[in-house]
Amino acid sequence: MTTSRNGSYVWITWLSKLMAGDTQCQWGAWFKAHHTEYKKAPSDFPRALWQVEHTKTLNELCDECKPNAVSMFKENQNKFTLKRGRMAIAGQPDLIVLDKLNNFTIYDVKTGQPRQSDIIQVLLYMACLRYMPLYKNKQLSGCVVYKVNRTPIPATAADETFNGQIKHFLNILDSECPPPKLPSHAECCYCEITSEDCHDRIENNETQCADLPF
């Protein structure tokens, strides 16, 4: 049964997709930030196969990093939560490596096609983790790891300008007033919020059509 949260809660991947424009309907992310225990739509995404590929790629990355690593922190070890008033912001990078120069690199493994939200997700990790005790006053760089290539992200990219952009979107998700819904089949078919909570959800792919007068 859908339950209102005490405050708001944001998972980093919701925020990264919103900031990248992958998610046009801000209402969906706002709803998840303010509610829990809601019924979720079934998904035909082959998650088990994705998990196997993700784990394999992450293991290979760990093996590659070992020779130059002083310390490595993997998945559950990296889960964090930051507070912003009554809002909680949480995330979990795949791998964080401390090298012999005392610098940290945050890695996130992706098995699909490259997206701008992948880069923004790692930038968000970089921006948030520097407030955690272990990473204070440390240089944090990032890297998105795809199957055939990588996108390195310099520590300087998570600057004050980026912090201002984060603030803009966090304010949207933290607001008591929900943003307008922007339902479309392209998004609704991937959205986990059912018509039980979103009466504007589009279940079929009917395209509007009209006749030209010439």
Give me the CATH number covering residue 51. Answer: 3.90.320
199 in a structural domain: no
pTM over 0.85: yes
Q: In this predicted model, what pLDDT tens digit does every residue of 59-87 receive, in sequence order? A: 999 999 999 999 999 999 999 999 999 99
Q: In this predicted model, what pLDDT tens digit does every residue of 152-211 receive, in sequence order? A: 999 999 999 999 999 999 999 999 999 999 999 989 988 999 999 999 999 887 666 788
210 in a structural domain: no
Q: How far is CA 1 from CA 30, 88, 129, in A?
A: 18, 22, 33
Name the helix (H) or strand (E) containing 42. Answer: none
117 in a structural domain: yes
Q: Is the pLDDT of residue 148 over 90?
A: no
Nearest to 74 by CA among 107, 103, 104: 107
Q: If you average pLDDT over every residue of the chain, what do you get? A: 94
Give the range of the structural domain holding residue 133, as residue numbers without chain letter. 3-188
Residue 5 amino acid letter: R
Token output for 19? 């900031």
146 in a structural domain: yes
Number of domains, the chain: 1
171 in a structural domain: yes
Residue 17 to residue 30: CA distance in whole angstroms: 12
Q: Is the pLDDT of residue 107 over 70?
A: yes
155 in a structural domain: yes
Residue 21 to residue 159: CA distance in whole angstroms: 20
Q: In this predicted model, what pLDDT tens digit does every residue of 34-66 receive, in sequence order? A: 999 999 998 877 888 889 999 999 999 999 999
Residue 27 to residue 198: CA distance in whole angstroms: 10
